[in-house]
Amino acid sequence: MLRAGVRKIGRIMETAAAQGMIQEETTPKGMPRLTSAASDEDIDARIRGYSEVWHHSAGTAAMGKNIQDSVVDAELNVHGLKNLRVVDASVFPEPISATPQATVYAIAELAAVLISRSVVQSER
Protein backbone atom coordinates (compact mmCIF):
# COMPACT_ATOMS: atom_id res chain seq x y z
CA MET A 1 0.00 0.00 0.00
CA LEU A 2 2.78 2.45 0.88
CA ARG A 3 4.68 1.43 -2.26
CA ALA A 4 1.61 2.21 -4.39
CA GLY A 5 1.34 5.61 -2.70
CA VAL A 6 5.00 6.39 -3.42
CA ARG A 7 4.48 5.44 -7.08
CA LYS A 8 1.36 7.63 -7.30
CA ILE A 9 3.27 10.60 -5.84
CA GLY A 10 6.00 9.90 -8.40
CA ARG A 11 3.47 10.03 -11.25
CA ILE A 12 2.04 13.29 -9.92
CA MET A 13 5.49 14.84 -9.55
CA GLU A 14 6.34 13.85 -13.14
CA THR A 15 3.45 15.90 -14.57
CA ALA A 16 4.17 19.20 -16.31
CA ALA A 17 2.25 21.10 -13.63
CA ALA A 18 4.36 19.67 -10.81
CA GLN A 19 7.63 19.98 -12.71
CA GLY A 20 7.09 23.75 -12.81
CA MET A 21 6.97 23.86 -8.99
CA ILE A 22 9.60 21.31 -7.98
CA GLN A 23 13.29 21.75 -8.58
CA GLU A 24 14.44 18.30 -7.41
CA GLU A 25 13.99 15.67 -4.72
CA THR A 26 16.35 15.90 -1.79
CA THR A 27 17.19 12.31 -1.03
CA PRO A 28 18.65 10.81 2.12
CA LYS A 29 22.38 10.12 1.80
CA GLY A 30 23.04 7.00 -0.25
CA MET A 31 19.44 6.65 -1.44
CA PRO A 32 18.42 6.97 -5.09
CA ARG A 33 15.75 9.42 -6.27
CA LEU A 34 12.33 7.82 -6.37
CA THR A 35 10.22 8.07 -9.52
CA SER A 36 7.15 6.22 -10.67
CA ALA A 37 9.57 3.76 -12.32
CA ALA A 38 11.67 3.14 -9.19
CA SER A 39 12.24 -0.49 -8.29
CA ASP A 40 10.20 -2.13 -5.55
CA GLU A 41 13.44 -2.68 -3.64
CA ASP A 42 14.38 1.04 -3.73
CA ILE A 43 10.91 2.12 -2.64
CA ASP A 44 10.79 -0.50 0.13
CA ALA A 45 14.25 0.52 1.39
CA ARG A 46 13.17 4.17 1.60
CA ILE A 47 9.93 3.27 3.38
CA ARG A 48 11.74 1.01 5.88
CA GLY A 49 14.54 3.45 6.52
CA TYR A 50 12.73 6.76 6.64
CA SER A 51 9.07 6.30 7.49
CA GLU A 52 7.78 7.48 10.83
CA VAL A 53 4.48 7.17 12.63
CA TRP A 54 3.07 10.52 13.74
CA HIS A 55 -0.05 9.21 15.43
CA HIS A 56 -0.66 6.93 18.36
CA SER A 57 -0.86 3.43 16.95
CA ALA A 58 -3.42 1.26 18.65
CA GLY A 59 -5.79 -1.61 18.02
CA THR A 60 -3.36 -3.95 16.25
CA ALA A 61 -3.92 -6.69 18.85
CA ALA A 62 -7.46 -5.73 19.79
CA MET A 63 -9.29 -7.09 22.83
CA GLY A 64 -12.44 -9.10 22.23
CA LYS A 65 -14.43 -12.20 23.05
CA ASN A 66 -13.14 -14.61 20.40
CA ILE A 67 -10.22 -15.36 18.14
CA GLN A 68 -12.21 -14.51 15.00
CA ASP A 69 -12.41 -10.78 15.77
CA SER A 70 -9.66 -10.12 18.31
CA VAL A 71 -6.18 -11.07 19.50
CA VAL A 72 -6.56 -10.92 23.28
CA ASP A 73 -9.36 -11.64 25.73
CA ALA A 74 -10.64 -9.38 28.51
CA GLU A 75 -7.76 -10.51 30.75
CA LEU A 76 -5.19 -9.56 28.08
CA ASN A 77 -4.34 -13.21 27.31
CA VAL A 78 -3.51 -13.93 23.67
CA HIS A 79 -6.23 -16.25 22.34
CA GLY A 80 -4.99 -19.82 22.01
CA LEU A 81 -1.73 -19.34 23.93
CA LYS A 82 -0.81 -19.82 27.57
CA ASN A 83 1.23 -17.37 29.64
CA LEU A 84 1.32 -14.62 27.03
CA ARG A 85 -0.40 -11.29 27.56
CA VAL A 86 -0.32 -8.07 25.57
CA VAL A 87 -0.16 -4.94 27.73
CA ASP A 88 -0.06 -1.80 25.59
CA ALA A 89 -2.22 0.39 23.36
CA SER A 90 -2.49 -2.35 20.77
CA VAL A 91 -5.24 -4.01 22.84
CA PHE A 92 -7.64 -1.06 22.47
CA PRO A 93 -10.56 -2.49 20.49
CA GLU A 94 -11.60 0.98 19.25
CA PRO A 95 -9.76 4.28 18.83
CA ILE A 96 -9.84 6.58 21.84
CA SER A 97 -10.46 10.31 21.52
CA ALA A 98 -7.55 11.42 23.69
CA THR A 99 -3.85 10.84 24.04
CA PRO A 100 -3.39 7.22 25.09
CA GLN A 101 -1.05 7.70 28.04
CA ALA A 102 -3.62 7.53 30.85
CA THR A 103 -5.47 4.67 29.19
CA VAL A 104 -2.24 2.70 28.73
CA TYR A 105 -1.47 3.28 32.43
CA ALA A 106 -4.91 1.89 33.29
CA ILE A 107 -4.29 -1.18 31.09
CA ALA A 108 -0.92 -1.68 32.82
CA GLU A 109 -2.53 -1.44 36.27
CA LEU A 110 -5.17 -3.95 35.19
CA ALA A 111 -2.45 -6.26 33.88
CA ALA A 112 -0.58 -6.06 37.20
CA VAL A 113 -3.71 -7.12 39.07
CA LEU A 114 -4.51 -9.91 36.59
CA ILE A 115 -0.96 -11.27 36.61
CA SER A 116 -0.74 -11.12 40.41
CA ARG A 117 -4.06 -12.94 40.69
CA SER A 118 -2.96 -15.66 38.27
CA VAL A 119 0.32 -16.18 40.17
CA VAL A 120 -1.54 -16.53 43.48
CA GLN A 121 -3.99 -19.01 41.95
CA SER A 122 -1.19 -21.09 40.40
CA GLU A 123 0.54 -21.33 43.79
CA ARG A 124 -2.51 -22.95 45.37
Q: Which residues face 63 on adjacent strands?
A: 72
* Residues taking part in catalysis: 56
Q: Which residues face 85 on adjacent strands?
A: 77
Residues 118 and 48: their CA atoms lie apart, in Å, by 39
Q: How far apart are the first and last CA of the chain?
A: 51
Amino acid at 91: V
